């Protein structure tokens, strides 16, 4: 039976809230609704009268604490009337506990060292998880690739078609446009000094060694790396991976290795196509702006551009492909049981793949420069 009640009395600019009966978790809801309808900003003083209260629990004390906070925020004078010391002690105890929590939260917000430490620790855990994933991948790869019957040829060719053959169009157009832009910007400067023919060296070195591999890797990271994350993530949400493991199918053998191997096989071919389209784009600008004929361009290209520059770009392909595929699949496996996680991990896979590719390319540049290649 509900024995609680609240009487609201207005006396001039003084608001009196007179509580009566048993204030417990089970009957304070209706009182709280009444309190929420009050416009406290119009009052100068609020009186909380508990003299007729026969029982008071912690839930009621929390309600009163929230009311006190509203009163203090409006800079209103507060007076508490209570016949029982237990009620006063309960309200004071809740206030001390809440103030302590606030102080702790404020301290944590100001502790930049703790925030930095947590950030490094989280990144450290991610690094350990990624290393464990790589270790499991290499273990599975050595076991399965070493046995011919364990190689999933059908899946590999399927992934080559999906992530390589179908990407030729976008990579060709992108590389052609990059060749146009580089040649156009270079032609303007070269014409000032009458060094038109040097556009061949500019295009050959920049496209074969750096731009074609890098642009191809970035396009594949956005196209295939994100697809790997979304595919694996969706399979994890729908528990297909768990079902495979239950039936005795090894996920690394059926899902991971075919994608990685296929991308490592097709990436050098895509870079080769990017080389051709980039040079063609540059050749077109050289002919239009610098009056360098196609025959002269090709002859000069054969004379000054060594084959090593072409092979350096091709060699980067499998390394870039490995980073893109592994990061994309790792992020897919890290998807949680909600669709929002797929979007978050897909975004992370693209960003991290591009960053890893650029880091790898910088490492190659340092190594080849020190070796004099």
State the DSSP string of 46-65. Answer: EEEEEEEEEEE-HHHHHHHH
Half-sphere exposure of 119 (CA within 13 A, CB side): 6
Confidence of residue 105 (pLDDT cuts 50, 70, 90): low
Among 73-82, 104-113, 239-248, the range scoring the smallest mean pLDDT is: 104-113
CA-to-CA dists, residue 182 to 68, 189, 277, angstroms: 68, 11, 13
Instruction: Give the integer Cα–Cα distance in Å for 281 and 173.
Output: 10
CA nearest neighbour of 98 among 72, 128, 74, 76: 72
pTM over 0.85: no
CATH superfamily of 5-110: STAS domain (3.30.750.24)
271, pLDDT greater than 90: yes
Q: According to the model, what pLDDT value does residue 83 have?
A: 62
CA nearest neighbour of 320 among 348, 278, 362: 362
Confidence of residue 52 (pLDDT cuts 50, 70, 90): confident
Among 108-122, 177-191, 297-311, the range scoring the smallest mean pLDDT is: 108-122
Token pair of 162 as six digits: 């999906």
- The torsion defined by the Cα of 342, 345, 346 and 349, in degrees rounded to 10, comes to -160
What is the residue extent of each domain of the chain? Answer: 5-110, 114-149, 152-370
Among 94-103, 105-114, 153-162, 276-285, the range scoring the smallest mean pLDDT is: 105-114
Instruction: Give the integer Cα–Cα distance in Å for 342 and 28.
Output: 43
List of residues 6+ apart from 141 with CB closer than 8 A: 252, 257, 260
110, pLDDT greater than 70: no
List of residues 6+ apart from 167 with CB closer than 8 A: 219, 220, 223, 224, 270
Q: Are 360 and 320 in contact (CB under 8 A)?
A: yes
Token pair of 269 as six digits: 């071919």
Q: Are 345 and 334 in contact (CB under 8 A)?
A: yes
CA nearest neighbour of 307 among 360, 217, 373: 373
Average pLDDT, the chain: 84
Instruction: Give the integer Cα–Cα distance in Å for 236 and 355.
Output: 26
């Amino acid at each position: 039976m509900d024995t609680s009640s609240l009487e609201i009395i207005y006396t001039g600019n003084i608001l009196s809230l007179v509580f009566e009966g048993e204030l417990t978790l089970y009957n304070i809801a209706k009182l709280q609704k009444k309190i929420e309808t009050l416009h406290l900003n119009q009052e100068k003083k609020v009186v909380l009268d508990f003299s007729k209260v026969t029982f008071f629990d912690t839930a009621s004390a929390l309600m009163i604490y929230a009311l006190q906070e509203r009163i203090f925020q409006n800079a209103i004078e507060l007076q508490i009337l209570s016949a029982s010391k237990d009620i006063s002690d309960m309200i004071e105890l809740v206030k001390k506990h809440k103030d302590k929590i606030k102080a702790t939260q404020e301290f944590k917000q100001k502790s930049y060292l703790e925030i930095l430490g947590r950030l490094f620790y989280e990144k450290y855990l991610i690094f350990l998880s990624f290393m464990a994933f790589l270790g499991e991948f290499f273990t599975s790869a050595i076991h399965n690739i070493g046995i011919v019957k364990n190689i999933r040829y059908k899946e590999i060719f399927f992934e080559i078609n999906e992530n390589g053959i179908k990407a030729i169009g976008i990579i060709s157009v992108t590389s052609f446009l990059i060749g146009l832009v580089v040649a156009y910007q270079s032609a303007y400067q070269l014409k000032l000094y009458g060094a038109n023919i040097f556009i061949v060296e500019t295009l050959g070195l920049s496209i074969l060694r750096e731009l074609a591999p890098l642009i191809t890797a970035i396009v594949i990271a956005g196209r295939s790396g994100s697809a790997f994350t979304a595919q694996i993530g969706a399979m994890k949400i729908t528990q297909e991976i768990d079902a495979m493991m239950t039936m005795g199918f090894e996920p690394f053998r059926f899902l991971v290795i075919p994608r990685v191997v296929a991308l490592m096989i097709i990436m050098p071919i895509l870079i080769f196509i990017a080389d051709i389209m980039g040079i063609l784009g540059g050749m077109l600008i050289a002919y239009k702006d610098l009056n360098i004929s196609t025959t002269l361009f090709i002859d000069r290209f054969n004379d000054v551009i060594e084959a090593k520059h072409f092979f350096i770009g091709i060699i980067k392909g499998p390394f870039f492909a490995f980073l893109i595929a592994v990061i994309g699949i790792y992020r897919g496996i890290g998807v949680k049981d909600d669709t929002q996680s797929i979007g978050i991990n897909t975004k992370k896979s693209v960003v991290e793949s591009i960053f890893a590719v650029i880091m790898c390319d910088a490492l190659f540049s340092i190594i080849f420069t020190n070796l004099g290649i």
